[in-house]
Structure 1
Amino acid sequence: MQHPVSAPSGVTAPTYADRIGFAQLTRRAFEGGDLHPLRERLLARIEEGTAEAGEGLDLSLIAQLLGEKEAGLVIQTEVLSFHQLFRTPCAAPKPRLRVLALAADIDMGGNTPIDFLLEDSDIELLTLYVVKGIGLPDTLPEHDVAIVIASDSEECREALALIEKAAPHWPKPLLNRPDLIGNLDRDKLYRLLTGVPGLDIPVTAPTTRAQLSELSQGRIVCEEITGELRFPMIVRPRGTHAGVGLAKLDDAGALAAYLAERQEQDFFVARFVDYASPDGLYRKYRLAMVDGEPYACHMAIADRWDIWYLNAFMAFSEEKRAEEAVFMLNFDHAFAARHKIALNEMSRRVGLDYFIVDCAENQNRELLVFEADNTAVVHNMDPPAVFPYKPPQMRKIFAAFTAMLSRHAQAREESAA
């Protein structure tokens, strides 16, 4: 059965194309597999005119995984111009549930990597790309529950707007509603979470190169950009992620030097919070919020404030891994219990069914929130020989995610009955 949506777009009766998908291809690359032979086979099929749409989308992802982002996006946009619905088959011969993921035409990091969350499950994944100029089809494919996986980035705004327009008439439960995803913007999240007991989130203010230049020359003071701003401050170019352009600036001279090395015109600034633990090390946590409940994804430990899991080199330190293992083992009655009020209220205010939080504890042991988004990768790719404590924890998160999908699907069935 196919489900009508409210605003016909001229596209009818969508049919899916099979693809390998994000999780499998990313795992191959992560584990050191050579993607070049597969790329050559797919290119040959395209040249022969025998390639299917799903193979084209896989080729786009392979190009991005090999560092050829622009070429990959060109391929993706071309494929999506004539086909928008793709299937990633599930592990079971017959799926128990079918989830429809609503995606945007953006690079591989711009949509929730939901494939990882459904790996080895009996849930079939259909991904519908909501493309500029094409929009949603007249009829939606059969599904039990839908979830918006497009991010809060500028490139996804049109897709989110199209989904939001159709949302009131959606025939099945629609999770991560598009009107709430915008709450995750850096300059909106702090407003949303201001006043939550036990939670610290610095004001993240948008600013321009002109303003920062004036600040570096002493023509204005920090407070003229935002009231709580002072040196040392954190600055990053607007629209960047994964630490691109992120810097801690101690004074006006450092700001002038930073601007001399950057070409961007728009930035975010925030006060720097020294969250070093008593032993001088920094500890940064990634949590998955699933159906209102927090789950530990990882803990990074390093002697630098600008931590990502990769630059913490956890794989090379048995001591760090032992601490991370204890963090995960004791999470529910330690970290999560300590920050229960803050986590519950944050989840309530954000309102999304699934999102990721990068956080720490400040020196008052409050929950220090750096950012939240719905597209961070939560995976089970780390080698069990090195991280034996991770697979059980990842499976716990995946089980919670699939249980959430099932609960919403069942609730709709019961209300309809």
Structure 2
Amino acid sequence: MKILFTLGIPDDLIGHVSLQQIQAGVAFPGNLPLIDALIAPLTARGWQAEYAYLGQPTEINVAGADVIVNCICDASRQQRSLGMLQELVNKTGLPVTNAPAAILASTRDRLSAYHDEQIRIPRSTRFAASSSTLEEHLLGQAHQLPVLIRPTGAHGGKGLVKLADTQVATWQPAEDEYYVTDFVDFISSDGRYRKYRLIYAGGRLFRRHLMIGQEWLLDLASREYMSRYPELLTEEKAFIHGEGDVAADKLVRIFEHFGLDYGLVDYALDKNGLPIIFELNGCFQLTGSLSAEQRPLLGYLEANNPDITAAILENIAARAR
């Protein structure tokens, strides 16, 4: 079997990328780093793989390909690449995993329109700073303060701020496009905050991590905090091994609704145990998420990588049939 991996050039870089960069396989933002994780196991199966960048006008060689594996995962930054991928699928009739329509449908603002009585999804809208003031946007979109403001296409808490009523008028945009999301407090009974992550692949959910910290913004800095409390690492390991948080099993249906073949969901739990969804998308990292210094303490975070890659490969094989 031959796989064509498709990657995208971000919209703001189109026209500024050289052929040499493309041939060198430059890692542009907004692409799922799946090739590195899959190349060894798919080669072991006797499969072939090629990759192609979309975005700038180019001729894509699909000769002999059995399936397209889409790695373009950020609809906020890859509109043109996703459009070109859809044109390629329509032209060739090749099956595709993580279809463009699924990526486009799972943006933060579109996600918030999903309704499920067992899942909480805070209201989220897209805000253009060049079109109105933030105050006008909040009023027109019926947001509830405080709100979270983040640049579209940003990940890992980059540029993310929480604004209360008194801070809205003085906030100054550094970008033009933002997501605005109602903040839902998710503090646990012990005064800490917890954020869970699951990876979905092949119709299954894999528990990825549980971040715990003293502040609502849980990012890589929370790892340093957790390292000072062995009981928090024990709690995370228990979650990864399937203990606690029965809400995790409810979330398969949200991936099925949006049509994603693989992706991640970040969420917390409210006081009634219902999941509060922060993010659902096709961007996640399997390999290379830990440094050599981190592995002795945190190696368990990648222990299920073989199971996840096997599930992704089975999904690809099923789609190609």
Q: Under a length normalisation based on structure 1, what TM-score does the superposition of the two structures give?
A: 0.65
Structure 1 residues 170 and 285, CA gap change in structure 2 (3 angstroms) = farther
SS at match of 1:325: helix
Q: Retained in 2: the 8 A contact 1:85–1:126?
A: no
Matches of 2:78 and 2:137 in 1, distance apart?
Answer: 35
SS at match of 2:41: coil
Matched, 1:129 2:53: yes
Match of 1:289 in 2: 200
Matches of 1:241 and 1:197 in 2, distance apart?
Answer: 28
User: Following TM superposition, by how much is the alpha carbon of 1:143 offset from its aligned partner in structure 2, in angstroms?
Assistant: 3.4
SS at match of 1:400: helix
Structure 1 residues 212 and 256, CA gap change in structure 2 (3 angstroms) = farther
SS at match of 1:128: strand
Structure 1 residues 80 and 175, CA gap change in structure 2 (3 angstroms) = farther
Matches of 1:380 and 1:85 in 2, distance apart?
Answer: 19
User: Following TM superposition, by how much is the alpha carbon of 1:204 offset from its aligned partner in structure 2, in angstroms?
Assistant: 0.6
Match of 1:305 in 2: 216
Structure 1 residues 140 and 2, CA gap change in structure 2 (3 angstroms) = farther
Q: Retained in 1: the 8 A contact 2:192–2:215?
A: yes
1:168 pairs with one of 73, 84, 90:
90
Structure 1 residues 127 and 369, CA gap change in structure 2 (3 angstroms) = same
Match of 2:108 in 1: 186
User: Following TM superposition, by how much is the alpha carbon of 1:182 offset from its aligned partner in structure 2, in angstroms?
Assistant: 0.3
Match of 1:37 in 2: none
Matches of 1:406 and 1:380 in 2, distance apart?
Answer: 25
Q: Retained in 2: the 8 A contact 1:231–1:251?
A: yes
Matches of 2:308 and 2:233 in 1, distance apart?
Answer: 19
Q: Which amino acid aligns with 1:225?
A: G
Structure 1 residues 114 and 141, CA gap change in structure 2 (3 angstroms) = farther
User: Following TM superposition, by how much is the alpha carbon of 1:145 offset from its aligned partner in structure 2, in angstroms?
Assistant: 2.8
User: Following TM superposition, by how much is the alpha carbon of 1:189 offset from its aligned partner in structure 2, in angstroms?
Assistant: 1.3
Q: How does 1:258-297 map to 2 (within 5 A)?
A: 258-259=171-172, 262-297=173-208
Matched, 1:325 2:233: no
Matches of 1:209 and 1:283 in 2, distance apart?
Answer: 31
Q: Retained in 2: the 8 A contact 1:152–1:184?
A: no
Q: Retained in 1: the 8 A contact 2:149–2:161?
A: yes
User: Following TM superposition, by how much is the alpha carbon of 1:157 offset from its aligned partner in structure 2, in angstroms?
Assistant: 1.6
Matches of 2:170 and 2:158 in 1, distance apart?
Answer: 16
Q: How does 1:242-391 map to 2 (within 5 A)?
A: 242-252=156-166, 254-259=167-172, 262-313=173-224, 314-330=226-242, 334-335=244-245, 337-341=246-250, 343-379=251-287, 381-382=289-290, 383-391=294-302
Matches of 2:281 and 2:196 in 1, distance apart?
Answer: 14
Q: Retained in 2: the 8 A contact 1:380–1:390?
A: no
Matched, 1:79 2:19: yes
Matches of 2:28 and 2:300 in 1, distance apart?
Answer: 28
User: Following TM superposition, by how much is the alpha carbon of 1:212 offset from its aligned partner in structure 2, in angstroms?
Assistant: 7.2
Q: Retained in 2: the 8 A contact 1:84–1:128?
A: no
Structure 2: state its 5+ residue gaps.
6-11
SS at match of 2:168: helix
When structure 1 is superposed on structure 2, of 313-322 and 303-312 the one drifting more is: 313-322
User: Following TM superposition, by how much is the alpha carbon of 1:176 offset from its aligned partner in structure 2, in angstroms?
Assistant: 0.9
Match of 2:125 in 1: 205
Q: Which amino acid aligns with 2:202?
A: D
Structure 1: state its 5+ residue gaps.
4-13, 17-69, 87-104, 413-417
Matches of 1:132 and 1:362 in 2, distance apart?
Answer: 44
User: Following TM superposition, by how much is the alpha carbon of 1:154 offset from its aligned partner in structure 2, in angstroms?
Assistant: 4.4
User: Following TM superposition, by how much is the alpha carbon of 1:354 offset from its aligned partner in structure 2, in angstroms?
Assistant: 0.9
User: Following TM superposition, by how much is the alpha carbon of 1:115 offset from its aligned partner in structure 2, in angstroms?
Assistant: 2.8
Match of 2:9 in 1: none
Q: Retained in 1: the 8 A contact 2:207–2:242?
A: no
User: Following TM superposition, by how much is the alpha carbon of 1:379 offset from its aligned partner in structure 2, in angstroms?
Assistant: 2.6
Q: Retained in 1: the 8 A contact 2:205–2:249?
A: no
Structure 1 residues 296 and 207, CA gap change in structure 2 (3 angstroms) = same
User: Following TM superposition, by how much is the alpha carbon of 1:208 offset from its aligned partner in structure 2, in angstroms?
Assistant: 4.2
Matches of 2:300 and 2:134 in 1, distance apart?
Answer: 50
User: Following TM superposition, by how much is the alpha carbon of 1:169 offset from its aligned partner in structure 2, in angstroms?
Assistant: 4.7
Identity %: 24
How many residue pairs get aligned? The number is 308
More helix by share: 1
Structure 1 residues 303 and 403, CA gap change in structure 2 (3 angstroms) = same
User: Following TM superposition, by how much is the alpha carbon of 1:391 offset from its aligned partner in structure 2, in angstroms?
Assistant: 3.8
SS at match of 1:387: helix
User: Following TM superposition, by how much is the alpha carbon of 1:324 offset from its aligned partner in structure 2, in angstroms?
Assistant: 0.9
Q: Retained in 2: the 8 A contact 1:190–1:203?
A: yes
Matched, 1:108 2:28: yes
| Bigger Cα Rg | 1
Matches of 1:317 and 1:169 in 2, distance apart?
Answer: 55
Matches of 1:144 and 1:214 in 2, distance apart?
Answer: 47
User: Following TM superposition, by how much is the alpha carbon of 1:234 offset from its aligned partner in structure 2, in angstroms?
Assistant: 1.5
Matches of 1:312 and 1:292 in 2, distance apart?
Answer: 29
Q: How does 1:8-23 map to 2 (within 5 A)?
A: none
Match of 2:147 in 1: 233
Matches of 1:144 and 1:243 in 2, distance apart?
Answer: 38
Q: How does 1:86-97 map to 2 (within 5 A)?
A: none
